[in-house]
Amino acid sequence: MNHALSHSNRLDATFAALSDPTRRAILARLANGEVSVMDLAKPFSMSQPAISKHLKVLERAGLISGIKDAQKRLRKIEAKPLAEATEWLENYRKFWEGRFNQLDSLIEELKLSKQTSPKRKNKKGE
């Protein structure tokens, strides 16, 4: 039970972190490789403390980690939380895909029954 709860908490943290467009943009930049905090902050019109808050949210969610490289503070993306979120979403994708396939089958069945049933005359005999 504790494992499920911690997995749930990790998913909550991941989706909460991903809910913000700035944090998603930071992750997109980090997907290309390690980046310094200063370089991460450049494209955003916000203060360094504001960027640091976003980075802390991403770090708490386990989506990024810090690396010390001489004088730079680098950040890199961590794949595990994203893989867990993708796995969770994949279950729902499979569910909805099955439902859509059922709907497609029903539509095809209705089309076939409409084509094979004789045309009915209306009350005027037309």
Q: How confident is the model at residue 28 (pLDDT cuts 50, 70, 90)?
A: very high
Instruction: Report residue 71: phi and psi, to 5°.
Output: -105, -5
Average pLDDT of the chain to the nearest whole number:
86
Q: Sketch the domain layout of the chain as residue ranges.
A: 1-78
Q: Are 74 and 36 a contacting pair, CB within 8 Å? A: yes
* Both tokens assigned to 75: 């950040």
Q: Which CATH class is domain 1-78?
A: mainly alpha
- CA 63, 68, 72: angle at the middle one, nearest 5? 105
User: Is the pLDDT at 125 greater than 80, yes or no?
Assistant: no
* DSSP characters over 8-70: HHHHHHHHHHHTSHHHHHHHHHHTTS-EEHHHHHTTSSS-HHHHHHHHHHHHHTTSEEEEEET
- What is the model's pLDDT at position 126? 55
- CA 31, 12, 67: angle at the middle one, nearest 5? 35
- What is the model's pLDDT at position 7? 80
- What is the model's pLDDT at position 29? 95
